[in-house]
Chain A
Amino acid sequence: MSLASFYFYSDVLHSSQKVSIALPEPKTMLEEDKSEMEVLYLLHGAQGSEHSWVSASNVERYLYESERNMAIVIPTMKTNYYTDHKIGDKYYTYVAKELPKIIETYFNVTFKRDKTYVAGLSMGGFGAMKVVLNNPEKFCFGATFSGALNIGERIRTGARPERRYDMIFGSYDDFVGSESDLYYLLKKNVEENKPLPKLYISCGTADGLLQDSIDFYNEAKKLGYDCKLHKEKMLGHGWRFWDLEVEKLLRTLI
């Protein structure tokens, strides 16, 4: 198992950033061809960090067991929703533009769309859909586990005030039709004849966010996306589910 902690200064965020990167096994790499690594951007949920996936799931071991020549890049986002704040820092630009550019410059990863993926849980599920739907030419696949996929409704109704959606997204009017409006983006890609990414949407049946996933899946399906919905019986909003999902992701989904 190979893990890197990568520290660097982000010009976009004007601050030092730390990213975890799970790397393919020396054994796997040295015995096989010298091709560039596939790359998966793996996004954590609200309040998390670059440690979350590494410490709370077995993603590093699953990569090892999969014997894939893949780099898994795990940035840190706190509770900033992978979004350029209405007033403040540009977390979307960081994660969707600057970080891939940095990873591609330093690491031996592919530039090929069909080997570039993004996935995330909860807030990171929203982030993954946002990244993949805004950049369908770059990413071929996006996965959301227990995703917060209806942020617009939360803003409109004033839910979760402690999350400071006003600061991050602005008003409901600001949100509609923006690069954070997933339903708008689903439609926009179809209308503009963009290459549509494959989507995987999953949630536990005991999770309060289940309806978000069902609604989002139905809309994507209706619009012609190649997408899959998975409902995991009995599981709620937690790492037991996300650990299962990330293993499945590496084994069978991508």
Chain B
Amino acid sequence: MAVLELTYRSNVLDFDQNLTVMLPEPSNLSLMDRDGPLVTEFPVLYLLHGYSDDHTSWLRRSSVERYLTMDFDKPLVIVCPSVQNSFYEDMVHGWKYYTYLTEEVPELLSRWIRISRRPEDTFIAGLSMGGYGAMKIGLRHPERFAAVASFSGVLNLPLSGEVNEERDNMTFNVFGMKRTETKGTDYDVFHLLDKAIESGKKLPKLYSSCGTADFHYENNLSFRDYALSKGDAIDYTYSETEGMEHEWKFWDAEIRKLLDWLPLRDCTK
């Protein structure tokens, strides 16, 4: 495996942060057959974790690193950040995880690692809270990404409703309001989709998926219907898997499918 575990002090958050970065293996790049280093900039997928998870979750609980290096022939760098339970937001009462992820991380990583900053080489995906985060970030900055994907995402935030006291307190700290009150705000992915279309910018390819036994299934169907109602204004793909719950078995299968779906160039050419 080719994996980089990074620890550093974030200026935006003002505390130490960790990132997991998966890289193509040197052998995938045939480095030893080359006279010198491969001079390129790697396409990059930001892969976001769900509620309660962190930067290690995708590496540990799925086989994404194996798919990337043993089962896939186009080099790609996968970046897994850690944002606690912040819904990838600049928290109203808390830390600026949105700014951290959308500004500081790409800037820092591109100083350290040879990743491309070009929109056609930049993708974002995530599961559950991270599916919401990916779709939100992608639709707020459609000009930065070529593709955006959500697996079992909390895509209809107002509909996701109240959960329990602890989580409700957390989401209140994040949004400064109840989830049900976020409709029509910039926290609402449906609203962001409208705005992105109205902006006239070229939108990234969009993908969302869910298992039919997932407690977010209805939530995802409502986004699917809304997205499909936009017709040709967006390039949108929906997928569901019969009987799958809110579980890693589903996300593991989805990330493998996603690698093939990404509009990825071969950066070794």
Q: For the complex, is A98 an interface residue (Cβ under 8 Å from B)?
A: yes
Chain A residues near B26 (CB-CB < 8 A):
8-11, 98, 101-102, 105
Q: For the complex, is B107 an interface residue (Cβ under 8 Å from A)?
A: yes
Decide yes or no: A16 and B1 within 8 Å by CB, A101-B34, A102-B31, A106-B113 being known contacts: yes
Decide yes or no: A3 and B7 within 8 Å by CB, A11-B31, A101-B31 being known contacts: yes
Q: For the complex, is A12 an interface residue (Cβ under 8 Å from B)?
A: yes
Which residues of chain A from 1 to 24 have a CB within 8 Å of any chain B CB? Answer: 1-12, 16, 23-24
Residue from A1, A3, A6, A30 within 8 A of B11 (CB atoms):
A30
- Contact between chains at B10 and A26 (CB < 8 Å): yes
Residue from B10, B29, B32 within 8 A of A12 (CB atoms):
B32
A6 and B6 CA atoms in complex are apart in Å by 9
Chain B residues near A100 (CB-CB < 8 A):
37
Chain A residues near B107 (CB-CB < 8 A):
30
Chain B residues near A105 (CB-CB < 8 A):
26, 29, 31, 37-40, 114
- Contact between chains at A2 and B8 (CB < 8 Å): yes
Residue from B1, B4, B38, B112 within 8 A of A108 (CB atoms):
B112
Chain B residues near A173 (CB-CB < 8 A):
none
Q: For the complex, is B233 an interface residue (Cβ under 8 Å from A)?
A: no
A21 to chain B, nearest CB (A): 8
**How many inter-chain contacts with C-beta < 8 Å in the A-B complex?**
103
Bitwise, B25-44 to A at CB < 8 A (1) or not (0) is: 11101011010111110000
Residue from A6, A11, A71 within 8 A of B27 (CB atoms):
A11
Chain A residues near B7 (CB-CB < 8 A):
2-4
Q: For the complex, is A107 an interface residue (Cβ under 8 Å from B)?
A: yes
Residue from A1, A23, A102, A111 within 8 A of B112 (CB atoms):
A23
Number of B residues with CB within 8 Å of any CB on chain A? 32
B69 to chain A, nearest CB (A): 8
**Size range of the chain A interface in the assembly:** 20 to 34
Q: For the complex, is B60 an interface residue (Cβ under 8 Å from A)?
A: no
A100 and B111 CA atoms in complex are apart in Å by 18
- Contact between chains at B32 and A9 (CB < 8 Å): no
- Contact between chains at A9 and B31 (CB < 8 Å): no
- Which residue on A lies nearest to B25, using beta carbons? A9
- Contact between chains at B1 and A26 (CB < 8 Å): no
Decide yes or no: A98 and B31 within 8 Å by CB, A7-B3, A11-B26, A107-B114 being known contacts: yes
- Which residue on A lies nearest to B114, using beta carbons? A108
Q: For the complex, is A84 an interface residue (Cβ under 8 Å from B)?
A: no
- Which residue on A lies nearest to B24, using beta carbons? A106
Q: For the complex, is B2 an interface residue (Cβ under 8 Å from A)?
A: yes
Chain A residues near B39 (CB-CB < 8 A):
105
A8 and B27 CA atoms in complex are apart in Å by 10
- Which residue on A lies nearest to B7, using beta carbons? A3
Chain B residues near A8 (CB-CB < 8 A):
1-3, 23, 25-26
- 13 A/B residue pairs, CB under 8 Å, sorted by A: A2-B9, A6-B4, A7-B4, A7-B5, A9-B2, A9-B27, A11-B27, A26-B8, A98-B32, A101-B32, A101-B34, A105-B29, A105-B39
Interface residues of B (CB under 8 A from A): 1-11, 23, 25-27, 29, 31-32, 34, 36-40, 104, 107-108, 110-114
| 9 closest A-B pairs by CB | A104-B37, A2-B8, A8-B2, A105-B37, A5-B5, A105-B38, A4-B6, A11-B32, A7-B3
